[in-house]
Structure 1
Amino acid sequence: MGECQSGEMKRRVLVETLLSDPPQSQTAPLRRSLEVSRQQLSLAHTQSACASVWRGVAWRGVASAFPRGGVRVLDSRWAPENRDFSIQVTTERRAYTAGEPLELRCTIEAQKVPERFFSVSWVFSSSPVAVVGPDAVPNLGAGYLEREAAGLLTVRKESSSVHLLRLQRLLPDDAGKYICRVTEREKTLTGDFIDRSKRSRNVQITVSPLKSNVTVSLSSNSSFDEGDPVILTCSVQNVWGSLSVSWQWTPPSSGEEAPPGPEPVELASVARDGTVRLGPTYLERGSYGEVRATRERADTYTLSLYNAYPTDAGQYRCIVTEWIRTGPEPNSTWQHLGEQSAAKDISVKSVESSFFVSASSADAQRDLRRLLRPAVHRQAAPQPQRAGHRHLALPPGRVARPPPATW
């Protein structure tokens, strides 16, 4: 060990030299010249008594210049700072399913990171996702502003050396290569600025298409009397995307239809945005307020038939379709995930009437029942008694009936 002065550094450095193959003659002078980085390292010779101790100047990394021996810096306080850095991107795994979150972390490995000025860029398939400058303020690339505003994208500086990219709900289009590019801006002795950039290795992410896992249940009573309201509730579980619902009615089979039986009739539908549309055969009843389809909550839908007819008997089915939006805004499209349904059989018992009506079609019978139902099911409002007329008292619950119809 020893001390010396270099013409450039003029600082004390303790150096220990370990020779794996010392010269055969320990009295022979030892001379060696080495250039490392931008500074000359001169090693002076010593005599035999100091064959294993060298006087000189060393700094971090100089040992790599000695293929057969080593130099270990015992006191590196005066060694020049190593300005090199490396970066590494880590993630939990490489294979995901659409809808799962993805977290990527870019770690900067360098000396005195908090005192240096690093900018971090996230790049996906050659397209910029975000740039985070030394002030830790992210600048998002085109197509990612909408996802960040919806809480589906996070770019954050977790510490001076760790940067995070998080995609809350992966889309199939998010599959591809992700890299982290780090740039350091350094001021030289002349006052100029030098930018040094490095990029990480590609991180290949695969995203499998999402499969719908929704389950559907349909609840209602099974038997109703004519004139009763029929309420069916369609409940959906395990919802991930957006839903649309379609209601269908299938009349009871008479046994005369060819397999597979009667064709279902479109009753009503509720779009993803909540817009309701009635089927063609139910538009008239809907105009009277007798048919309503509503979305009570994001996972609950109801179908209401007021003043049920015996011809309303049959099978009711709630068909639920799940969707997700794919692609960057504003050119994103809706992708169909899956479809599930549930059915319920309903019977409607006819109420006996005090008169008989003969009609040639079920539609005529239904129209006549609509005209006569107020006399059968609804209590008449009390009428004022006129002079010269005797008011006939009726038992409670009974209403006056019209005379038999004549044709």
Structure 2
Amino acid sequence: MGLAQCLEAAFLFLLLLGLTSGQRLVTVQQGPLYRVRGSHVTLWCKVSGYQGPAEQNFQWSIYLPSAPEREVQIVSTVDPSFPYAIYTQRVRSRGIYVERVQGDAVLLHITELQDRDAGEYECHTPNTDERYFGSYSAKTNLSVIADTLSASMAPQVLTHTEGDAVELTCEVSKSTIQHTHLSVGWYHLQGAGEHHAEEVLILSKDFILKPGPSYVQRFLEGDVQLNKVGNTTYKLFLRRVKPSDHGQLYCEATEWIEDPDKTWKDISLRQTERTSLTVLSQGRDLSVDIGAAESSVSEGDTLQLNCMVEAQKSSSRHFQVIWLLNGMEVARVDLHGVLTWKEKYEERAKLGQLRALKPSNTIYVLTISEVGLRDNGTYQCSVSEMKTPGELHAIQTNLSSGIQVIVKPVGLSLHATLRSRIATIRYGQSFELVCQVSANYSLEEVPMSVRWLFQPSPPTSPYRELVQVFPSGTVAWVAAQSHFKEKAQLMKADTSFRLHIHSAVAANEGKYQCEVEVWRRNVLPLGQPSATTRSNAVGIKVVMPESKLQVSTQNSSVEVASSADTAIECRIVFAQNNSQLAVTWYLLPPLADGAPVQIVRANYSSVLEYGPEFSSPAQKSRFLSQRVSSNVFWLQILSVNLGDRGQYYCVVEEWLWLVDGWYKLGEGTSGRTTLELKLPERELQMEKTNDSLSAREGEEVTLPCLLQGARLPDTRLSATWFQMKESGLSSPLLILHHNGTVLSPQQGLAPRLYLRHPTAGDFGLTLSRVERSDAGLYYCQVQEWQQQGEGKDWALQASAHSGYSQLTTIPPESTVMSRICSSPSLLNFILCLPLVLILLLALAIFCWYYKYEKSKKGNVLGNQLMELEGNGEVKTTGL
């Protein structure tokens, strides 16, 4: 450690010692600060460790660059005559003023920053203690920079019909020398007033899209989008405008700078001119009515309800109909005629007791056969019109008036009541259900049968039959419910039926019903039920053994040198001896938006399952889950790199083997361990400007990584390129070791990655044959290594990482060749055309040759005939 470091450590120690002894300390906002000319600026100052009154006084001064040793007094909380002449008018007009946040903390306000306000500011607190002890002032630097932010949008007056698409373009640029970020957002004003604007969609300074409260659902459905084209163009796309979009839209850009205390401050804001949007509503001519042949029916009768739709040009429009009973949905018929029943009606529909038909586009029929008292109530139909068959949102909806249906009791009153003494039982206990039957006539010697029904919890299906007991005593179990058969005991006494379940397990939890049928000889022939009734539902809850698992929630941090190995600990404070533990490791990357990434899971049998982001061979070889003792798990990370930074934690599950299998008792989440790289004392100088690049698919692009400044002698450099995924996880793409070897951890990308390296400090990465999936954030890390002696190891001397490069991919250009290749029929035609032409040419030559030979033979034969006719002799001249 050098002399300067020793003095600094001693000073900090003395300062800490003084603080513990009640020493006065004045602190001011950490500089240097960069603020834009003309903006409103605040600087905070506070005092601690004082012994005087609770309300302290503050005085602000400035040391100008032109006279750094001369104090110029600005403003005071106690002395009105404190300001120098050059500040007197601005203080009186409150262009400069002090706001007291609390008794020992204030804010200095400069309402309109000027170039002459640049300098070193000092905050001084007059002494109120019995003696001078500590610091009474603190300083910070403020620089004034030009405002280069611009935002523009051409004002328009737009008129659209509800459901149309709208696109607006905003041009935003800046040329600030300092490293700043931009946020761009779109805002909506109802009407022409100047009242509060509503957020539509904002691209934050951290490159995150955030919809306004009223636009969240439309953003998730893709109806509201913000696209960045190139470096300066931002486009808002509203896929389906609504009447609520009526009003004014404008774009707002904000420039942000990171202060030395790592907080981001908005330093400039621009609003564009406004675009007026008028949204015309669709016509509302939909009329709905409901009717019934008879609104008063008896039990067992059939009820038919008709829903009539009236609308202009109804045959070409698309309607969805929902049937309602007492305001609750029964069934719906979508615009394609597809019928969907609500869960409680599915079983009756399967038995044919419920039907819903669509005879035409304007008539819908609901039929209920064998109506019961449960069908009493008010029926309505709700009709919604959709713009297109694929539409998910209704253009308009209309609800019919209600029709009251009264179901009168068929003389044979039969009733079943189901009860249980205990509704909540512990795992392994027994419970009993009693089904009591009653009627308005004597049930003595009346044959009865019972069906026991069960619906599991949570409900994943309608009630299903467990077992049926016939009047003869025959028991018929449903094959799929054999696990009940082994535990159940069935009994009958007079007019009650009992179902006793031994040693209940989790699968026995749910709702139970009994359905009773009676036969009466004087009503129907023997063997046919004259009345049927179903009981109320009784819920049984099976309480499983409680988990007593405790996982250490203490947060910690680990600092590791680059390329070294480390281990993250997950400690179990308490777990039952007879339980098994499963552990899942998660990583929250530094720039992740609250979404952790699963690394690896070791189940209760120690079988490893890696998450999607860590499933490559390179990642599997570096991240290992290991149980080092009965209560300690380790996540081992080998060869730590820059992309491994973040917060690690584990989720431990406690599993117990019960009668019917493994059961998860509970789980616990550990505290978070922050992993940081231990950087060398010396930092390399690198170009850290964040930039945006675009490349067309199929072409190549070079991502910059430029080392600046001097290097130590006899050193070597290594470089690692990272790609940041949507999850915030940084994955290494290519590694250049200091010995010159190159490693490509991601095999799929390896053939397309080239390290340009034209000069000693340039490690630009060339990505060839760009694909759509290559879009994202990229950055590099450069390290400097030096050998410790002849034949000894190389040690890390310095390190730094570049800024972020945002790569945007552009679809390939449509050329004649690409259009040909994208059309199989056209491509086949062009490939086959030469062959067809050759065949046609060969056929033409053959035909010509055939005709030529034929005519030649004809001429020879003619000459022979002429000779025969001339002298009466046959003379052969040769064929």
Task: Report which of the two has the higher share of helix.
Answer: 2
More strand per residue: 1 or 2?
Answer: 2
Higher relative contact order (CA 8 A, sep 6+): 1
Name the TM tier (shorter chain): 0.3 to 0.5
| TM norm structure 2 | 0.20
